[in-house]
Amino acid sequence: MSDILIKLHTNHDEPARQTTIKYIEGVTTNSDKYGVDLLYIGGLYFNKIEVQVLTYKHFITYLDVLTVFKRKDRYDLKTLYITYNFNFTSCYVFSRSQLDPLKFMMSPARYSVRREDFLYMIEKKDVLFIKNINENTFNKDILEAFYISKNK
């Protein structure tokens, strides 16, 4: 792994994982470094969580879409995706079933071995936005209710 990828992992991935573990009871780190980031033990509806961090200080609130790398669609339909802001106080949540193959874009790759990456676009109107993460706004009950609403 390159130095930049190690730095990104240390500065962003690990705090995102720890924030999730802190608030969502039953979540643990996945020991498979090629698999999804977190496992939700005992989850009836979803059992995997993939995290990412948007490092922009303004949390792209002016955009109508979020993106997730095409390579992250290999996870099964019981996967939730959580996109945190740079200081882990807000997040967007969406489910694997919301990754629509008809909503693709290509983007220059910043941290990839490829020159371009395919990205899914997810409209923000279809995701759960949690403005102030705390034990009342970000917990397993809220995530399960959202997952059920998107996977009927």
**Segment 50-74, tens digit of pLDDT:** 999 886 665 555 567 888 888 889 9
Give the number of other Cβ atoms within 10 Å of residue 31's Cβ: 7
Percent share of the chain, pLDDT over 90: 53
Q: What does the pLDDT read at residue 57?
A: 60
User: Coil, strand, or helix at residue 73?
Assistant: helix
Per the structure, the count of domains in the chain is 1
DSSP conformational letter for 93: E
CATH number of the domain residue 26 falls in: 3.40.1350
The neighbouring-strand residues paired with 122 are 66
Average pLDDT estimate for 75-86: 93
Is it the case that residue 118 has pLDDT exceeding 90? no
Q: What does the pLDDT read at residue 86?
A: 85
Q: Global pTM?
A: 0.85
How far apart are the C-alpha atoms of 79 and 112, rounded to whole Å?
Answer: 23
Is it the case that residue 4 has pLDDT exceeding 60? no
How far apart are the C-alpha atoms of 139 and 145, rounded to whole Å?
Answer: 10
Least confident of 4-8, 41-45, 81-85, 145-149: 4-8
Tokens of 6: 């190690």
Is it the case that residue 112 has pLDDT exceeding 60? no
Q: What does the pLDDT read at residue 5?
A: 44
Domain that holds residue 45: 3-150
User: Coil, strand, or helix at residue 122?
Assistant: strand
Closest CA to 77 of 94, 91, 65: 94
Closest CA to 96 of 50, 60, 42: 50
Average pLDDT estimate for 69-91: 91
**Segment 20-42, tens digit of pLDDT:** 999 999 999 999 988 999 999 98
How far apart are the C-alpha atoms of 116 and 125, rounded to whole Å?
Answer: 27
